[in-house]
Amino acid sequence: MKGVILSLAPDARIVDISHEIPAQDVLVGGLVLARAFPYFPPGTVHLLVVDPGVGTSRPLLLARTENYFFLGPDNGALGMAFEREPPREVIRITASHIFRPEPSPTFHGRDILSPVAARVAQGVPLSQFGEPASPAVPSPFPLPEPQADGRLLLRVVLADRFGNLLLNLTERKYRGISSAKGGFTLEIAGRKVERLSRTYGDVSPGEVLALFDSSGYLEVAVRDGSAAIELGCGRSAVALLSL
């Protein structure tokens, strides 16, 4: 993919955000992009290829937001970025004359998305790549689930390499629902965390804590340790939040 881009746009600067997305993991791919893209300069072209449906009839999308361009399959992965910065224009990529000759049915990232990304970086208008469209597949990021007793059921969406557990609640959402009540008790894997910390050093070594991470998502961690190991939790584990 880099070779294709540089062959068409030799002045392009290519930055790898991650090559550590679990295979076929649309949710984590979209989450990694959503957490990273706002820190790039305006005009950056973001290309996301987590594409378990490669070669099928699923569309490939090109989108323009206020500050960026995004390319990827219509499988929901781009939806998490769009929640932070909604698209102003979306195109279904159909301009086959821009693709590499005889695109492989198993590597659309190289043969379709990369040449399109290179041309977008060179300033070719989006209208040249296809027809207007709307993403058909919603974001796979789960929403918090209100319970009959007033608590929120949350889910672990990612256990990172430090063993921190990322939950599906943003600080913005939390502040919007907590202002009137003011409490905080999080129950996960039989443990209770009864306050929000500001940073990891707010608790003693080995203690379980909850905080909002640098991207604004609720995180359960263990100071100088691994919450995933300490709590025996991973992806899809549930937690209950009382406000």
pLDDT, mean over the chain: 95
**pTM tops 0.75:** yes
CA atoms within 13 A on the CB side of 68: 20
Interatomic CA distance for residues 50 and 25, integer angstroms? 7
CATH for 145-242 (3.90.1170.50, 3.30.1300.10, 2.170.190.11, 2.40.30.90): 2.40.30.90
Note every long-range contact of 222-226, with CB atoms under 8 Å and residues 24 or more positions apart, other chains counting: 222/163, 224/200, 225/163, 226/162, 226/163, 226/164
Q: Is the Cα torsion angle 113, 115, 120, 124 positive or negative in sign?
A: negative
164 pLDDT more than 70? yes
| pLDDT on residue 181 | 59
1 pLDDT more than 90? yes
* Cβ burial, residue 242 (10 Å; 0-12/13-18/19+): middle
Across 37-41, average pLDDT: 97
Contact 151, 198 (CB under 8 A): no
180 pLDDT more than 90? no
Residue with tokens 């989450």: 31
Interatomic CA distance for residues 152 and 49, integer angstroms? 33
Paired with 60 in beta bridges are 73
243 pLDDT more than 90? no
Interatomic CA distance for residues 128 and 99, integer angstroms? 12
**197 band by pLDDT with thresholds 50, 70 and 90:** very high
Tell me if residue 93 falls in helix, strand or coil. Answer: strand
Instruction: Specify the domain boundaries for CATH 2.40.30.90 within the chain.
Output: 145-242
Instruction: Specify the domain boundaries for CATH 3.40.50.10790 within the chain.
Output: 2-132
User: Does the domain formed by 2-132 have CATH 3.40.50.10790?
Assistant: yes
178 pLDDT more than 90? no
Q: Which of 238, 45, 241, 70 is nearest to 142 (CA)?
A: 238
